[in-house]
Amino acid sequence: MTEKPLIGAYLAWLAGQKRAAEATVVNYGRDVAGLLGFLTAHLGAEPDRAALGRVTQADLRAWLAHLAASGLAPPSRARALSAVRGFFRFLARTGGPENPAAAALGTPKRRPPIPRALAEDDARAVTEEISAEAEPWVAARDAAIAALLYGAGLRIAETLSLTRAEAPLPGSEAGLRVRGKGNKERVVPVLPAVRGAVAAYLALCPHALGGSDPLFVGVRGGVLNQRQVRGAMIALRRRLGLPEHATPHALRHSFATHLLEGGADLRAIQDLLGHASLSTTQRYTAVDEARLMAVWKKAHPRA
């Protein structure tokens, strides 16, 4: 059986036996067709079942290198390899031959995305201009949340999990104890402006909050969820004309990026963010390098 009938049989098996989504069937068909087309040129002949049984890891690495050279991103190369692995499993189940070459290949590593921070003026505007909300106490609440995200580098979940007893208020210099991912605790310093924002919210909040109650509550006094915070940020983004990546989590990115630009030590930023690995924090150095390159291209006479 030559390549076109093989692909058709594989796609029919995906759709019928594996109940794959239509988009998956289309993408996998394109990926496998790409491999078989590459092998035709690479091996000098259209591969049949027997030839596919002789395909080596070196052949498949050459195919992946060809995809990379053509500009295909790591996630797309990983999907293509997944399609090919499924194809070889299909061959083994429908008369052979068995070929473990594809299964033994490592998946192309996905490069972590570079965090997208806000400009300092935009980050400051989020914490100051959010007070344009209709209800003053809701505005103060949202401003306090934004202040903790940008001023202390908290995650949204960490901010919303704070209790009334844990509220960082003026008059105290104690750090804020935060429970992060994996229930890991860290202590972060809190700026006076952030403490003032939290105090302003509590002074206006119409709901009586006990020590064990959530610090930040919704309009009816119930638990405030992340979706509501994101909604408030979208409304603010539209009102101020901020970029699309202006999200609550972008405030945490901005906290780290602006500290790094100001000369903060990477290990210190790791501790403040609660990252288990320094490699996670090192993503912010790419942001700084990108900013420096942008400045160079704009300012250098020979750029």
Contacts 24+ apart (CB under 8 A), 163-167: 163/211, 163/212, 163/213, 163/214, 163/215, 164/202, 164/209, 164/210, 164/211, 164/212, 164/213, 164/214, 164/215, 165/211, 165/212, 166/215, 167/198, 167/202, 167/215
Q: Which positions are annotated as active-site residues? A: 155, 181, 249, 252, 275, 284
Q: Which residue in this structure is represented by tokens 């020590």?
A: 211
Residue-wise burial string across 1-33, b where 16 or more C-beta atoms lie within 10 A, e elsewhere: eebeebbeebbebbeeeeebeeebbebbbebbb
SS3 labels along 111-130: CCCCCCCCCHHHHHHHHHHH
Beta bridge partners of 49: none
Count the alpha carbons within 13 Å of 282 in the hemisphere toward its beta carbon. Answer: 5
Could you identify the residue written with the tokens 């106490």? Answer: 137
